[in-house]
Amino acid sequence: MTTTYGPLTSTYGTLHGKVALVTGGSRGIGAATALRLAREGADVAVTYVNGKEAAEEVVRAVEALGRRAVALRADSADADEAAGAVARAAEAFGGLDVLVNNAGVGVLGPLEGLSLTDVDRVLAVNVRGVFLASQAAAARMTSGGRIITIGSCMAQRVPGPGGTLYATSKSALIGLTKALARELGPRGITANVVHPGPVDTDMNPAGGPYAAGQAAMTALGRFGTADEVAATVVYLAGADYVTGAEFSVDGGHSA
C-alpha cells in the first residue's frame, strides 16, 4: 500500500483562519508563542506595557509569515485594559479563537519583606488580569475556543524560600483553569494551564545569579527556551479533547 503525504511546507497550518491574543507578547515566552501561532496560520494580537518597539517587531515578524498582527498597549493590572484588550483583538480581526494568558510578573523574596503594593501588583497581573481576560474571551468565543494560561513550576513545587507571593498567584491559575474547563466545556471551549520551569528570558536569564541552582533542580539539568514552551501552547491551541489539564514544560523540575 502506498501512503501519500501532503507537501512538507503548506500555506495552511493547523490554526489557519484562527485569531489569537497573547498577553505580554512583546518578548520572552509570549513573543515566541505569537510567532509559533502565526507559523501555524493564526492571526495574532499581542499586548505589551513598556515594550512598544519590541511588540512592533513581533508584529512585523508575524506579518512576514503572511499573517495579520496588531500590538495593543494594555496593562493586565488594569481591570478595564485587561478585558479591553480582548475586545480590541476581537474587533481588529473579527472574533477570537485562542487566548494565551501569558503576561506575568515575579516578585520573589522573604515573606516579611513583601509589601501590600507587591501583593496587590502580583495578584492584579498574575490572577485578576487572567480572570478578567478569560471572562471577556469566554463571552466572545464560540465552540472551538481555547484558553491557555501560563502558570509556573512554582505552582507545583516550591523548591526553597522566597516564593510565597509568586507561588500563591500561580497556584490560583490551576483552580481557575479547572473551573473554566467545567464551565465552558458544554460550549466546546477548552481551558488548560502550562507550567514552565526555568526558561531563559528577561525575567529569568540563564546567565543570572540563581540560574545554576535552578538548572540543577531539573531532571535535564538545563534551562528551557521560550520556544519549547510555545510549542506546547500551540499544541493546546489545536487540541480538541484536552481540557482542565496542567502541562509541565519544566525539564523535569516537578519530577
Q: Which residues are catalytic?
A: 166
β 43-48/190-196 pair status: unpaired
Between CA 192 and CA 170 the distance in angstroms is 13
Between CA 247 and CA 11 the distance in angstroms is 29
Between CA 103 and CA 232 the distance in angstroms is 17
Q: How far is the CB of 154 from ligand NDP (least distance, A)?
A: 7
| Per-residue binding letters, 38-57, with ligand NDP (x by CB under 6 A) | ---------xxxxx--x---
Phi/psi at 128 (5° precision)? -65, -40
Residue at 94: amino acid letter: G
Cα end-to-end span (Å), the chain: 43
Place of cell 515575579: 106
Beta bridge partners of 101: 149
Stretch that binds ligand NDP, among 9-17, 25-33, 34-42, 234-242 (CB under 6 A): 25-33
| Per-residue binding letters, 161-200, with ligand NDP (x by CB under 6 A) | -----------------------------------x-xx-
Say how many C-beta atoms besides its own lie within 10 A of residue 255's C-beta: 11
Cβ nearer to ligand NDP, comparing 186 with 209? 209
Which residue among 33, 76, 192, 243 contacts ligand NDP (CB under 6 A)?
76
Which residue among 14, 164, 171, 204 contacts ligand NDP (CB under 6 A)?
204
Which residue among 59, 89, 100, 105 contacts ligand NDP (CB under 6 A)?
105
Q: Which residues bind ligand NDP (CB under 6 A)?
A: 23-30, 47-51, 54, 75-77, 102-106, 125, 150, 152-153, 196, 198-199, 201-204
